[in-house]
Amino acid sequence: MRALGRTITRIGLFVIAAAAPLAGSSLPAQKAAAPPQALVPMATEVIAAGKPFPRFKVDAAWPQLPADLLLGQVSGVAVDKDDDVWVVHRPHSLTPTDTGAAQSPPIAVCCKPAPTVVRFANDGRYLAGWGGPESAPTIDGVNQWPKSVHGIYVDAAKTVWFGGNGDGDHAVLNYTADGTFIRSFGKRERTNGNQDQALLGNPADVYAGNGQVLVADGYTNKRVIRFLGKDGSFGGFWGAYAEAPSGESRSGHFDQSQASSTADGGANPASRRFGDIVHCVVPTGDGHVYVCDRRNNRAQLFRQAADGTLSFVRDVVIAPKTGGTRTVTDIALSPDGKYLYVADMMNSRIWILLRATHEPIAAIGRIGRYAGEFTWLHSMAVDSKGNLYVTEVNTGRRVQKLVFTGVE
């Protein structure tokens, strides 16, 4: 039978409503009118009185998933050249209580895990989804699909890149926009420390462009590593202050309890070494690169020479006394390059800085689970109109759109 344009299917005692495309489908959704927005004000703190800054409201109606799909921990977000929004999430972070319709036999009317890689239109419509071990190659007897996907980047050719921070996830994978494997860097279940020029250690973030691939090799190792885009050959690696990577790599696999551990003695924004989560690598488009040193409550800014070499410019310290999961988890720039957005995991806010001076002038968001609030704030991206897209992991498990409303 039909109701409200959705197909109704009976399974035992349950009636399940499913909207096209079907769960797990990589087929695009039918062309539809843009869904209406539901704009909600956000908590905003003015830090530098009298200085204008970008203002945002959260769209509580964004995104529009098919009726039978659910996102788990959303561990990465990217915006492509056409302003489509891509996320990666962790289906394994959902429990049978969340995904009753996917159990055998079904135990509830909803839901099923969304595909690991999901593409939304800028207005929130679900466009496609794909991913899983069946899409990845097997190398040396090991399937290369990550156990816990981490970070996502979509390059100028609209190919998709991501890493992983689960047990043995020591590879960066590259796919076409429709989910066909292209190539990889590193290998699952093989890692060899900060000095290795080919193997990785739980890569957190990746950038691909301008003839290079930059990796924040940062949950097991503590470095940024560069590969040449044409042949994938080694192009250099750096630790904090653009010095040689140093310090021991993490022994054993990473789990989320370590994200708030104090075994490292607490944040040290003056450390000559990266902490044990190097979380982002963000080129600016004007010859600079930001790197998130989350456990030390700082980002570091580097200048990149024509040959790819990094040289240190400055520290950008955010809330230095913060404990727990610490602060700098991701960075984005406003489309005009005037403002820097810094996602702060522990304080559940986004700091707005003047990029020219790195002076904090405002902050938006707060801890919480309602629209415009954050729990385990994780990743962030900006579109050509200045809107921000922000993800949450652990028990947050969502992506939100923060709509740019102007500078005032």
CATH code of the domain covering residue 55: 2.120.10.30
Structural domain boundaries enclosing 244: 2-407
Q: What whole-number distance in Å separates Cα of residue 193 and Cα of residue 113?
A: 34
Cα distances (Å, whole numbers) of residue 295 to 175, 265, 308: 30, 10, 26
317, β-bridge pairs: 298
Q: Which amino acid is at 124?
A: G
Which two three-digit tokens encode residue 3?
Answer: 């109701």
Per-residue confidence (pLDDT) for residue 17, from 0 to 100: 39
Asked whether the beta carbons of 84 and 70 are under 8 A apart, the reply is no
Q: What whole-number distance in Å separates Cα of residue 350 and Cα of residue 339?
A: 12
Per-residue confidence (pLDDT) for residue 254, from 0 to 100: 82
Instruction: Count the Cβ atoms, other than its own, within 10 Å of residue 261.
Output: 12
Q: What whole-number distance in Å separates Cα of residue 361 and Cα of residue 363?
A: 7
Report CA 180 to chain centroid distance, whole Å: 21
Q: Please tell me the total count of domains within the chain.
A: 1
Q: Which of 196, 342, 166, 350 is nearest to 258 (CA)?
A: 166
Per-residue confidence (pLDDT) for residue 256, from 0 to 100: 79
Per-residue confidence (pLDDT) for residue 263, from 0 to 100: 85
pLDDT tens track of the chain, all 408 residues?
A: 333 333 333 334 333 333 444 444 444 545 568 899 999 999 999 999 999 999 999 999 999 999 999 999 999 999 999 999 999 999 999 999 999 999 999 999 999 999 999 999 999 999 999 999 999 999 999 999 999 999 999 999 999 999 999 999 999 999 999 999 999 999 999 999 999 999 999 999 999 999 999 999 999 999 999 999 889 999 999 999 999 998 888 877 887 778 888 888 999 999 999 999 999 999 999 999 999 999 999 999 999 999 999 999 999 999 999 999 999 999 999 999 999 999 999 999 999 999 999 999 999 999 999 999 999 999 999 999 999 999 999 999 999 999 999 999
Q: Which amino acid is at 261?
A: S
